Amino acid sequence: MSLAELQNMFLNPDLLERYGPRFIDGLLVTGKLVAISFTLGALLGLLIALGRLSSNRFLRSFTGAYVYFFRGSPLLAQLFLLYYGLGSFKGFWQDVGLWWFFRDAWFCTLLAFTLNTAAYQAEILRGSILSVAQGQREACKALNLSRWTAFRKIILPQSLLVAIGPLGNELILMIKASAIASLVTIYDLMGVTKMAFSRSFDFQVYLWAAVLYLLIVEVVRRSLKLIEGRLGRHLQ
Amino acid sequence: MLDQLSLLSFASGGWGSALLAGALVTIALALSCLPIGLPLGLAVAVAARSKNRWLRAWATTFSTVFRGLPELLTLLIIYYGCQIAAQKILAMMGYDAQVTINTFVAAMVAFSLVFAAFSSEIWLGAFKTIPKGQFEAASALGLSKFTTFRKVVLPQLARIALPGLSNNWLSLLKDTSLVSTISLVDLMRQTNLAVSVTKEPMLFYTVACLGYLFFSAISGRLFAFLERYFSRHQRSAQP
């Protein structure tokens, strides 16, 4: 087998010219989807973690049920539930003026991903908040810090240091899970790949996607390791 | 409300038995990944600890690739890739036939590989917690390498690895919902069919979510029992 034949098998120039730009677009969509939903999920997750740790029994059981539901069922089912399920109440959403949101696959995917990752991140944050030594809280009380200041200045920085590793894992899981968005007509990296395959019937596009996903995940993993080392430098 | 519930009944016109059949396929698929996935994961972990450089590199590549790829992509690559490869091989041998691979087998292979990759990390972590003295003691007793592994290391590994494996099992169970995209009729696919016929997406997708929740809850119970069983020698005597 000559070199040109080998190249044709794995990196066909014609195919690359036709679908290369679309793959870049898909990559950007995947990045945007993960970045937005992960950030919103972190904020919501922090609130849920605080709810799970609160002394209010109602709040505790509600957030517990939320986390249990979203961690116990597949993201695919949740996405379909939001997109097709909530989308079926067209009249209601039109009345409250939110139809533009639930009509759009992009917004529904963002919502589903945010709610899903919030549940996972809430568990990570809850564990890390609990891991802060009790003496730190007592010291805050002794210094007469308000609860909010104590949380913001003492508890949160220490717990985030513990949480950053698991949060990084969750980010990587999120990047991988974002491929599911292609099933509700979003043209992310996976969506573009499926479209390219259905038009060209050339299997190599799947291999391109595999390499791209591996590349993203590896880059994210390495940079998270660097960040983790940097944040924990006072502990070494 | 009542006629919605009748859609879930097991009588004719109800989707109860169809959903149940789908749920059984989901469970069967997830369970059938264990006999390949668990030993393969253990083998990859042992390979990653071996002295042979090639074996180590192979194990690292395997676990990096299958942990880094989205499960959906792995599934599609195995499903289409095996078909195309089989067709090419047949064409080389002179046959010109359309090959279709059984979706269940394709899904089983794909999820077994993913499960093996994730569980190899768990096994590796468990290996690190076993003190060196255990190996030295086994060697002092003249146990062969294989006996050491089977009688000394593995029982301890199982106890330590169990919580991690339970997490992997739960994500495997949820990932099996992806097979609905290659039209294997599991719980998710059956739900999609029911929705397209009855136009009741809210009801059926909620039922599907609750179905998966139910399986997760049962698995949680089972693993709690297993953990108690494997650490029974560590329990203190009842007062």
State pLDDT tens for residues B49-91: 889 999 999 999 999 999 999 999 999 999 988 888 888 888 8
Residue pair A180/A79 in contact by the 8 Å Cβ criterion: yes
Residue pair B61/A214 in contact by the 8 Å Cβ criterion: no
Contact A182 B216 (CB under 8 A): no
Burial call B134-163: b when 16+ CB within 10 Å, e when fewer: ebeebeeeebeeeebbeebbeebbebbbbe
pLDDT recorded at residue A219: 93
Can you spell out the DSSP letters for B121-162? HHHHHHHHHS-HHHHHHHHHTT--HHHIIIIIIHHHHHHHHH
Low-confidence winner among B16-30, B81-95, B129-143 (lowest mean pLDDT): B81-95
pLDDT recorded at residue B234: 76
Residues of B in contact with A87 (CB under 8 A): 201
The three-class DSSP label of residue A159 is helix
Question: Which domains are delineated in chain B?
Answer: 18-230 (1.10.3720.10)
The three-class DSSP label of residue A12 is coil
Token match 């937005």: residue? A36
Residues of A in contact with B217 (CB under 8 A): 72
- Would you say residue B239 has pLDDT above 70? no
The gap from C-alpha B40 to its chain's centroid, in whole angstroms, comes to 12
pLDDT recorded at residue A38: 96
Mutate to test the interface with B, among A1, A73, A75 (most CBs of B within 10 A): A73
- Give the residue ranges of DSSP H helices in chain A: 3-10, 13-53, 57-72, 75-80, 90-96, 99-103, 105-130, 134-142, 147-149, 156-177, 189-200, 204-231
Q: What is the CATH number of domain A3-235?
A: 1.10.3720.10
Which residue, A158, A172, A174, is CA-closest to A221? A172
Token match 């568990």: residue? A123
- Would you say residue B120 has pLDDT above 80? yes
pLDDT recorded at residue B237: 62
Quick: pLDDT tens for B123-137: 998 988 888 899 899
Which residue, A186, A187, A193, A184, is CA-closest to A211? A193
pLDDT category at B198 given cuts 50, 70, 90 is confident
Among B175, B192, B213, beta carbon nearest to A69: B213
Contact A81 B206 (CB under 8 A): yes
pLDDT recorded at residue B217: 93
How close, in Å, is residue A92 to chain B by CA atoms? 14
Quick: pLDDT tens for B98-111: 777 888 999 999 99
pLDDT recorded at residue B1: 65
Contact B72 A69 (CB under 8 A): no
Quick: pLDDT tens for A36-69: 999 999 999 999 999 999 989 999 999 999 999 9
* Cα B226 to Cα B162: distance, rounded to the nearest angstrom: 8
pLDDT recorded at residue B238: 57
pLDDT category at A19 given cuts 50, 70, 90 is confident
> Percentage of chain B surpassing pLDDT 70?
96
Mutate to test the interface with B, among A79, A84, A194 (most CBs of B within 10 A): A84
* Cα A155 to Cα A160: distance, rounded to the nearest angstrom: 9
Sign, CA dihedral B81-B87-B91-B93, equals: positive
Look at B159 and A38; give whichever has higher pLDDT. A38
Query: Which two structure tokens, joined as six digits, stand for B56?
Result: 């180590």
Quick: pLDDT tens for A88-144: 888 888 888 888 888 889 999 999 999 999 999 999 999 999 998 889 999 999 999
Which residue, B121, B127, B228, B223, is CA-closest to B173? B223
- Which residues, 6+ apart, have CB-to-CB distance to B161 below 8 Å? B119, B122, B123, B125, B126
* Cα B85 to Cα B72: distance, rounded to the nearest angstrom: 19
pLDDT recorded at residue A94: 87
Which residue, A185, A79, A112, is CA-closest to B188? A79
Question: Mean pLDDT across chain B, nearest whole number?
Answer: 88
Contact A179 B84 (CB under 8 A): no
Q: Where are the domains of chain A?
A: 3-235
Quick: pLDDT tens for A174-199: 999 999 999 998 999 999 999 988 88
| Average pLDDT of the segment spanning B181-203 | 89
DSSP state of A79: H
Which residue, A44, A40, A229, A50, is CA-closest to A152? A50
pTM for this prediction: 0.89
The three-class DSSP label of residue A234 is helix
| Average pLDDT of the segment spanning B179-207 | 89
Contact B180 A77 (CB under 8 A): no
Q: Which residues in B have their CB inside 8 Å of a CB on A?
A: 64-65, 68-73, 76-77, 80-81, 84, 170, 174-175, 177-178, 180-181, 188, 191-192, 195, 199-202, 205-206, 208-210, 212-213, 216-217
At position B136, the amino acid (one-letter code) is E
How close, in Å, is residue B150 to chain A by CA atoms? 32
Query: Which two structure tokens, joined as six digits, stand for B97?
Result: 């036939």
